Structure 1
Amino acid sequence: MKRSTISQPDVATLFIAASEQDSNLYYATRFMAPDPFIYLEIKGERVMVMSDLEMDRARSEASVDRVLSYSEIEQKAKKQGIKSPTAVDIVHVVLKEAKIRRLSVPANFPVIHAARLQERGYSLKPKSDPFYEQRVVKTPEEVRSIEEAQRATEEAVTAAHALLRKAEIKGAQLWLDGQPVTSERIKKFINVKLMERDCIAQHTIVAGGEQACDPHNEGSGPLPAHRSIIFDVFPRSATSRYFADMSRTVIRGTVSLELKRLYSTVKDAQEEAITKIKDGADGMKIHQGICARFEKAGYKTGLVNGRMQGYFHGTGHGVGLDIHEAPRISRTGSLLQEGHVVTVEPGLYYPG
């Protein structure tokens, strides 16, 4: 599959970034590099400009049409009178030969490079995500990659839940093997399990009690008995670079009637929303339907004592080379298409 933007012949696409951090650049080149490199799309041709260190690997691994030598172009720039060529000078040499003066760049394109290009007379037009619209609709290969990461996540979380089942309840805390069960202990367990499946997890959430009322609190300290414990695990495959995303709420101990009702309300809303995920569905309307369902059940959303309570985040988002990407199932919303991979993760959050 050729990954490129649809542009006019006199407009080139330009990235100067590290594909290890920039998912659009990795998508375009399928080449992983920790240091910035130059990538251009010129009149339908996809070109990388690489250092001597990365030349051979880029030529064998990257899914582009041509890989040019940075050092060779650097020598050419010096012969043109540029004493110490920068990355922008290298881009200028390539574009000058192609007679291109207009550029399409990602919204996060470095300001210093943009300023230097403008000084040389180039016109730049930034483009917001999705920079490559085709990224939003996943190929069967991409779906398989996401599914593999998801299965590894499910195994790790299931194993962590098994640990909690073995835990003893002592007062208001959970104990296992003579030690308190902490958020840190369970997160480490999950992350190691994921590493065994070639997945790398960062910011894994295992938060209990009051901490669970803050959706992005990663959790710390002893996990409580008889109260909600939220798991939110979203690792990236070290081989495919695609993410998985999994949220679960569990309780070890006695469950109050109110917690049971809260859980059932969220679960029923989630299951209803999943039935609405289809080609042509409106993500905003799906989200609004969940909000209305929660309100009807008596669960209000708003600021109480300086803290948000109720349902105050989106229902879902796309998953792929980024953990959060288009489309959105939220108050802003997106029209869903066949091939989208999305989460459906409503929640209700009330301290106490």
Structure 2
Amino acid sequence: MLADTDADGFVHVGDRFDDELRYLTRFSGPDRPYAFVYTGSEATATLCAPRLFHEQAQTEFIDRASDTTHRQVRTEQVGEPAGIRAVSTLQAAGISDGTILVPQQIPHDAALYLEQAGYELRSTDAVTVQRQQKTPAEIGCLRCVQQVTAAGMAQAEKILAESTEKNGVLRWSGAALTTEVLRRQINAILAQDGVQPAGNTVIGAGSSAADLHFTGVEEINAGETVLIDISPRGPHGYYGDMTRTFVVEGDGGWERRAYVAVEAALDAALRQLAPGVDAATVHEEAAAEIGAYGFPMVAEEGEIGFTHGTGHGVGLSLHEPPILSRETPLESGMVVTVEPGVYDPDRGGVRLEELVLITAAEPGYEILAPYPRSITPTHSR
């Protein structure tokens, strides 16, 4: 990053909720600001951690590092703001002035401390760009959490398959089956494998399946779409993401037609995936396929049709670049979702989603945790 510029260093300040900072440090705590400083003169990366977190910082930032960068943890000046500690680290490295690269989201006070110390700040998106191509270790993390995600989906499908209908309402284990019951059962599977639901288990039934982020409580009726979107976060910080849509005792009407259209759109989008392909092309192919089945290709949320982009990158953030509706060349090592959908606020929604790795090998992608697709739930997967 510094080698291609005339900058003297790089600084970022944030907390454990800052995914870019976690990418740089692999440090998972605390929830108050700390600083990361990289100095090109000595090729040294420094984590200014709170004193009580020194051992954790040593383990996560240094011991588990897989690169050859010289790393150190500093716990001096723990009572000072993170921006001041960053200035002190730069000065200790012999950098008393010059140009410092910072990400756009660096806190305002940290930027002021750096400027007041005499540094010229220059914004960079280098880390954001670098995050798009995953390392083998990152791919391993994503694959593991996606496998657990698939186990959660299997539990949901099993419950739906076991449910019975009474007066139009599905029943399971002696009671009415609701989206909340299904959500709790999925989350229990995730938790037993050490994966956190992170509040991202979205389940809609009937009209609420047209709500892209529904986490409320609805009784599940026979014949309506049940849309299940599971996006948990593993202990390493990486996310999984999978969506399936099921119908119990459907009559083969709107729900079946929408499912066929969405599955065709998913397959059409997957066929486009390969290094060098423009990401926007993937979205265009998916939308065209949905249009071919008579559904609106472009719709606003709350309208009938395809209301969102076809996919996005996944990593330490659930939604990160590349975005499949934007003109960005796909590259080997990128991990993206492919998730076309069709929605009708009065009838429900259908979405199918795969998490895929872009590869140089044919066919140009790999589904990280394959899971069967079927509108009718079955007992065993």
Instruction: Work out whether residues 5 and 132 of structure 1, in 8 Å CA contact, stay in contact via their aligned partners in 2.
Output: no
Q: C-alpha separation between the residues in 2 aligned to 1:118 and 1:60? A: 32
How big is the shift at 1:296? 2.7
Q: C-alpha separation between the residues in 1 aligned to 2:323 and 2:60? A: 32
Q: Deviations over 1:268-300 (max 9, x none)?
A: 111121121111111101211222222232212
Residues 73-92 of structure 1 aligned to structure 2 (within 5 Å) = 73=77, 85-92=80-87
- After TM superposition, the structure 1 stretch with the greater mean CA deviation from structure 2, 61-70 or 146-155, is 61-70
Q: Does 1:108 align with 2:105?
A: yes
| Larger relative contact order (CA 8 Å, sep ≥ 6) | 2
Q: C-alpha separation between the residues in 1 aligned to 2:177 and 2:223? A: 14
Q: Does 1:298 align with 2:294?
A: yes
Match of 1:328 in 2: 323
Distance 1:200 1:6, change over 3 A: farther
Match of 1:135 in 2: 131
**SS, match of residue 154 in structure 1:** helix
Instruction: Work out whether residues 48 and 82 of structure 2, in 8 Å CA contact, stay in contact via their aligned partners in 1.
Output: no
Please tell me whether Structure 1 or Structure 2 has the larger radius of gyration of its CA atoms. 1
Residues 1-352 of structure 1 aligned to structure 2 (within 5 Å) = 6=3, 8=5, 10-18=7-15, 20-34=16-30, 35-43=32-40, 44-62=43-61, 63=65, 65-71=70-76, 73=77, 85-96=80-91, 97-128=94-125, 131-201=127-197, 202-238=199-235, 240-301=236-297, 307-330=302-325, 332-350=326-344, 351-352=346-347
**SS, match of residue 188 in structure 1:** helix
- After TM superposition, the structure 1 stretch with the greater mean CA deviation from structure 2, 6-15 or 146-155, is 6-15
**Percent of residue pairs identical:** 27
How big is the shift at 1:258? 2.5
Q: Which amino acid aligns with 1:90?
A: R
How big is the shift at 1:167? 1.1
**SS, match of residue 337 in structure 2:** coil
- After TM superposition, the structure 1 stretch with the greater mean CA deviation from structure 2, 256-265 or 196-205, is 256-265
Distance 1:121 1:297, change over 3 A: same
Instruction: Work out whether residues 320 and 341 of structure 1, in 8 Å CA contact, stay in contact via their aligned partners in 2.
Output: yes
Q: C-alpha separation between the residues in 2 aligned to 1:322 and 1:5? A: 24
Distance 1:93 1:302, change over 3 A: closer
How big is the shift at 1:29? 1.7
Instruction: Work out whether residues 310 and 349 of structure 1, in 8 Å CA contact, stay in contact via their aligned partners in 2.
Output: yes
Q: C-alpha separation between the residues in 2 aligned to 1:59 and 1:9? A: 30
Instruction: Work out whether residues 8 and 95 of structure 2, in 8 Å CA contact, stay in contact via their aligned partners in 1.
Output: no
**SS, match of residue 227 in structure 2:** strand
How big is the shift at 1:14? 0.7
Instruction: Work out whether residues 13 and 103 of structure 1, in 8 Å CA contact, stay in contact via their aligned partners in 2.
Output: yes
- After TM superposition, the structure 1 stretch with the greater mean CA deviation from structure 2, 21-30 or 160-169, is 21-30
Q: C-alpha separation between the residues in 2 aligned to 1:53 and 1:28? A: 20
**SS, match of residue 187 in structure 1:** helix
Instruction: Work out whether residues 233 and 247 of structure 1, in 8 Å CA contact, stay in contact via their aligned partners in 2.
Output: yes
**SS, match of residue 163 in structure 1:** helix
Q: Deviations over 1:84-124 (max 9, x none)?
A: 84333322222233234322212211112223333333322
Distance 1:6 1:329, change over 3 A: farther
**SS, match of residue 153 in structure 1:** helix
Distance 1:139 1:85, change over 3 A: closer
Unaligned stretches of 5+ residues in structure 2: 348-381
Over the residues paired in the alignment, what is the CA RMSD in angstroms? 2.2
Q: Which amino acid aligns with 2:72?
A: V
**SS, match of residue 22 in structure 2:** helix
Q: C-alpha separation between the residues in 2 aligned to 1:5 and 1:247? A: 40
Unaligned stretches of 5+ residues in structure 1: 75-83
Question: How many positions carry a matched residue from both structures?
Answer: 334
Match of 2:351 in 1: none
Q: C-alpha separation between the residues in 1 aligned to 2:71 and 2:332? A: 33
